[in-house]
Amino acid sequence: MSILRILLVALFIQPAVASAELAEIVRVIDGDTVAVLSADRKMTRCRLYGIDAPEKGQAYGEVSKKSLSDLAYRKVLDVRLTGTDRYGRAICRLLLDGVDINREQVARGMAWVYRRYSQDRAYFDAEAGARSQRLGLWAGTNPVPPWDFRRQ
């Protein structure tokens, strides 16, 4: 195989390999953002794909952060990069032993499905379940989505 062909193959394979790796969650910033430390000691701030958690000053903001911390802090997870947001943050799915941590935050009533960015049916089903069971933020009478809270 020629050197050019090897380089072309490596170019196409590398993004797929780099998009999923094991990493430790070293900081939980809020209910939908974490800092991960990769095996090669690279720190990355990850915004969780498909969800939007209450803001820190919002009802359930601290509870949502604690929930994510209980699920992921100091654990080694499969971190799957799905893209970057307009602020340059990595957008990630977090998986622990096959459990989608992002979806779990929604199922616990700790986050909304971020409808603008997610089409994952499992996330919508998880939200509907949390809503019907009045879990987490759904226990309140009129929960305000974070995207509306930020606009106020």
Catalytic residue positions, numbered: 47, 55, 89
Give whole-number Cα distances, 127 to 52, 113, 140, in Å. Answer: 12, 7, 15
Q: Report residue 71 as tokens.
A: 């699920």
Output the six-digit token pair for 128.
Answer: 């509907």
Q: Are 112 and 140 a contacting pair, CB within 8 Å?
A: no
Dihedral pair phi/psi, residue 107, rounded to 5°: -60, -30
Strand blocks (E) in the chain: 20-30, 33-38, 43-48, 51-52, 76-84, 90-96, 99-100, 112-113
Q: What is the spatial distance between Cα 45 and Cα 92, in angstroms, rounded to a whole number?
A: 9
Tokens for 130?
């949390």
